[in-house]
Amino acid sequence: MNMVDWKKAIGISQDTLSVEEISFLAQQGYLNLGKILSTAEVEKINQRIAVLADLEGEAAGSELADSKYIRHPKEAGADRLADLVNKGSVFDVFYSHPKVLAGIAAVLGDQIKLSSLNYRAAKPGMGLQKLHVDWKDGLPHGQYRVCNSIWLLDDFTARNGATRVVPGSHLWDKLPQDEMPDQEASHPDEILIQGAVGSVFIFNSHTWHGGTTNQTDKLRRSMHSYFCTRDQNQQVDQRRYILPETKTRLADAACYLLDIN
């Protein structure tokens, strides 16, 4: 399978995203795709996550800790799960939805693959992250290597630890660690990604971003399907971790996007 075939197989066409959506993503570095998951789908996903969190306990997210390509795999302020490709077909939508993949390809081009599929839930009173980018260096404009999608498993509000982004910062020739004495501080241009449960946001991972403090008494849950260009190393090596029973049930296009074919 090649890049043309996977897009056709997934069901991506020239009309999957509008010209206006692609332009907004290119200029602002993020895009709200609206509600993609139904209430029933979110409930089923959250039920499976609860089971996995209980089963894995302190080992939850250990696949990330095993990766040398993640700077801070363990995060005290958030619950984590990783390698969700192998943990239930309920998670397949996160790396196979046409509209989301069209947005990722608009940022990275058609030569993409899943880098990791993770769950993150900001804990009450915690979850604040430094403003950061998901690439170690600045890059010439347009030569992007990583792009993320955030799937809202709860409403994202101003109080519960919604992700913040600095619109247009992917176009700057500077990095937050070089410009901000305190990367946990608010940036004058930052906005909060706020939306209803079931919504999906794409953001160019070269855009300055970070979690905020969850000021409520409940977890703020989300899924991150994180993509990279095919010449990059995955955060979670799908070939190493893929289970035979997982590969058997996946379509060719999914195997291509996981880089396991």
Q: What's the residue count for the chain?
A: 261
Where in the chain are the domains?
3-134+146-171+183-258
Could you please state the CATH topology (level 3) that the domain comprising 3-134+146-171+183-258 is classified under: Jelly Rolls (2.60.120)
Q: pLDDT of 4-25, one tens digit each?
A: 589 999 999 999 999 999 999 9
> Tens digit of pLDDT for each residue in 60-84?
888 876 665 554 456 789 999 999 9
User: Which of these, 210, 166, 170, lies nearest to 190 by C-alpha position?
Assistant: 166
What does the alpha-carbon distance between residue 196 and residue 34 come to, in Å, rounded to a whole number? 8
Is the distance from CB of 96 to CB of 257 less than 8 angstroms? yes
pLDDT above 90: residue 50: yes
* Strand order across the beta sheet in which 209-210 lies: 191-192, 164-165, 209-210
In which residue are the tokens 């799960």 written? 81
Q: Which residue, among 244, 3, 224, 253, has the nearest Cα to 109 in the 3D structure? A: 3
pLDDT in tens, 158-192: 999 999 999 999 999 899 999 999 999 999 999 99
Taking Cα atoms as reference points, which of 63, 65, 117, 122 lies closest to residue 95? Answer: 117
Choose between 4 and 211: higher pLDDT. 211
Residue 68 pLDDT:
56
DSSP conformational letter for 259? T
pLDDT score, position 120: 96
pLDDT-above-90 percentage for the chain: 85
Task: Write the burial class of residue 226 (CB in 10 Å: 0-12 exposed, 13-18 middle, 19+ buried).
Answer: buried
Greatest extent of the chain over all pairs of C-alpha atoms, in Å: 50
pLDDT per residue as tens digits for the range 222-257: 999 999 999 999 999 999 999 999 999 999 999 999
CA distances from 187 to 3, 90, 148, 165 (A): 38, 37, 21, 9
- 143: which residues sit within 8 A by CB, 6+ positions away? none
Q: pLDDT confidence of 196, banded at 50, 70, 90?
A: very high
Summarize pLDDT for 111-155 with one digit per residue, the tens.
999 999 999 999 999 999 999 999 887 666 778 999 999 999 999
> How far is Cα 42 from Cα 60, in angstroms, rounded to an integer?
20
DSSP character for 185? S
pLDDT at 209 over 80: yes
Mean predicted confidence (pLDDT) in 194-200: 98
Q: What is the four-CA torsion angle of 128, 23, 175, 212, rounded to 10 degrees? A: -10
Nearest 5°: the CA angle 206, 123, 234 is 35
pLDDT, average across residues 205-224: 97
Dist CA 38 CA 25 (whole Å): 24
Tell me what pLDDT residue 136 has. Answer: 80
Burial of residue 103, with CB atoms counted within 10 A of its CB: 0-12 exposed, 13-18 middle, 19 or more buried:
buried
